[in-house]
Amino acid sequence: MPPPLVLASTSRYRRELLARLRLPFACEKPGVDEDAVKQALGEPLAIVRELARTKALAVAVRHPGAVVIGGDQGAAIDGALLDKPGDATRATAQLQRLRGREHRLLTAVALAHPGGVVEWVETTRLSMRALDDDEIVRYIAAEQPFDCAGSYKIEGQGIGLFDAITGDDQTAIIGLPLLRLGRELRALGFAVP
C-alpha cells in the first residue's frame, strides 16, 4: 500500500490536475513566505525551484511518511518573474509586456518522500500574438486571470492570445506537469494507470 499523498498547495488548478490521476490525496496550505524567497533569490528559475522545494518540505515535516507534492510557477521574461497579477491593472501591464514576444513559463515541482526529494522544472516557451490594447481589455474582462502567472488561462480563452506554444507537457502550463509526476509516483508505488 502506498503512503499518504499530500498536495502542498491551495491552488484549485493543481488540485484539479492531481485529481485526474484518481489517487486519494489531501491538500494542505504550506504556509511559506513566498515574498521573502523572491526577494532573496531574484532569478526566476531559482525562485520557482526554491518555492516548490520549500512548500513540499514545509508540509512533509507535518506528515512524516507521506509523499508531498510542492509546486510553483512563474512566467519569465527579460530576467524577471511575472507572478499572479492579483488585479486588472497588473494583469493589463503583464499582457502588454508579453504581447508580440516569447516568454518562458517555468513550472517547478518538488516531490518529498521518506527517501528524499525529487525535483524538476518544466519549461514551456510561449509566443504571444501582438495584441492590441482592446484585445487585452476584452480578454481580462472575459476571464479575469488574476490568479494565474502571466495573466492568462491557457485552458480557456487564453489560448487565443498565442501564436505558438512549445513544451513537453501541456498540463505544466496549467500548474502541475502530470507526465513526469505520474512516472515519479509510479516509482514510489502508486497505481497510476
Contact 118, 52 (CB under 8 A): no
**Residue 87 a catalytic site member:** no
Cα distance between residue 169 and residue 88, in whole Å: 29
**Which one of 35, 72, 168, 169 is the catalytic residue?**
72
Pairing of β 5-7 and β 67-77: parallel
Which three cell numbers mark 156?
Answer: 480557456
Which residue is it, cell 504571444? 128
Cα distance between residue 117 and residue 67, in whole Å: 9
Of the candidates 11, 26, 8, 18, the one whose C-alpha atom is nearest the C-alpha of residue 178 is 18
Which residue is it, cell 508505488? 189
Active site positions, annotated = 72
